[in-house]
Amino acid sequence: MQTEKTTLQYLFSAPVIVAALGYFVDIYDLLLFGIVRIPSLRDLGLSEAGISLEGASILNWQMTGLLLGGILWGVLGDRKGRLSVLFGSIITYSLANFACGFVQDVDQYKILRFIAGVGLAGELGAGITLVSESLPKQLRALGASLVAGVGLLGAVAAYFTVELFSWRNAYFAGGALGALLLLLRIGVFESGLYVNMKDMAHVRKGSFIQFFTRKDRLIRYLKCIGIGLPTWYVIGILSTFSNEFGKALGIVEEVKPGLAVMWCYVGLAGGDLLSGYISYRMQSRRKAVMLLMGFTFLGSLIFLYAGIQTAAMLYFATLWLGFGIGYWAMFVTIGAEQFGTNIRATAATTIPNMVRGTVVAMTISYGFLKPLVNVVNAAAIVGLVCFAIGFYSIFTIDETHHRDLDFVEEY
């Protein structure tokens, strides 16, 4: 006689554990270049000006890989299955990161970070889609939070690996972690909802164009992206340029952006673990995200205008902000739940990578405004736009907490 699984059995099932560990390795590799940028380019013989110029260029190559990879893996996830992406993406970024340990010049570095970006784009979306389709609807938020909470600690692992070992060994470690994870994935089964849908000949699967064929679907897609904007405003502007804010606020001590980003991700991991529980208790995705987004908005005002005077306080502020944007897993889950099984992986994979891509517009806007209104006010203006779009999107999007995911999108 088959007995019903308990909540813990569902939450610690193979799809959840493997998705969580996969996201851990994904975040480790995603942030690694940002942490080793200066020492690695210095070892390659670049001057300080060259490090600044080529470092930005390499990062843009990685970001371009993420954007293109998001579409590639999303479409493959809906056409070939969620597991095909979980295997293919980790093989791609693990080999690329291992190869980064042998890099000898900037051109090699750019190509390898582009390939790594393509691979890294598939991990979270495919993992969240598989978890969302494998768990009962009342536990989806908790499962997604567990995946992101564990996964985001990869940022902490990356920081301390670089502190303890050379940058080349940090890349080798990332490749080795990927290889180990690949072995763990062998026993994971495909989503039942996908298996039931894949043989439906009349259903169009994995079409990125499908988001643009109907106005209501396009609006849903854009709102999902809008919800995520404050998350990468915090990471891409406030944390990444924390050294500039330290100087603008008159902080005497050196503010290290790498350390600020690490503390941001520590907070993010904690917030992600809590956001699922909040959604579970409130029986609402929207209320949980609104609460954390409001917490982040308040933290941003404190960060910019409360008169922070020490590096320690600034790091604490980034920890606060990281906790606030801990609705990241909830935001990806909302994206997965908004769309049918035939384009769900495409949605869940492209949406977070589209948000990451908006960092380019944010940094350009921030750079343009700095000489006009000073560093602090420039960041505030960019943030105001991001939060306005974010609050509008979460207030007006459909609630999906109780939604049954066994449906498809018509072309």
Closest CA to 25 of 149, 129, 178, 159: 178
Stretches in the chain below the pLDDT threshold 70: 1-4, 187
pLDDT in tens, 291-307: 999 999 999 999 999 98
- 47 CB-side CA count, 13 A: 2
Q: Find out whether 241 and 378 touch, Cβ atoms under 8 Å.
A: no
Tokens 């018509």 map to which residue? 410
Phi, psi of 284 (to 5 degrees): -160, 130
Domains of the chain: 13-186+213-396 (1.20.1250.20)
pLDDT at residue number 64 = 86
Q: Find out whether 338 and 344 touch, Cβ atoms under 8 Å.
A: no
Angstrom distance (rounded) from CA 380 to CA 374: 10
**Distances, alpha carbon 351 to alpha carbons 69, 203, 228, 410, in Å:** 12, 22, 9, 20
pLDDT at residue number 1 = 40
Task: Give the tokens for residue 338.
Answer: 């908004």
DSSP letters spanning 316-354:
HHHHHHHHHTTTHHHHHHHHHHTS-TTTHHHHHHHHHHH
Task: Give the tokens for residue 11.
Answer: 């939450």
Q: Find out whether 382 and 365 touch, Cβ atoms under 8 Å.
A: yes
Long-range contact set of residues 107-116: C-beta below 8 Å, sequence gap at least 24: 109/40, 109/44, 109/58, 110/57, 110/58, 110/61, 111/61, 113/33, 113/58, 113/59, 113/61, 113/62, 113/65, 114/61, 114/62, 114/64, 114/65, 115/65, 116/29, 116/62, 116/65, 116/92
pLDDT at residue number 3 = 55
Q: Find out whether 275 and 330 touch, Cβ atoms under 8 Å.
A: yes
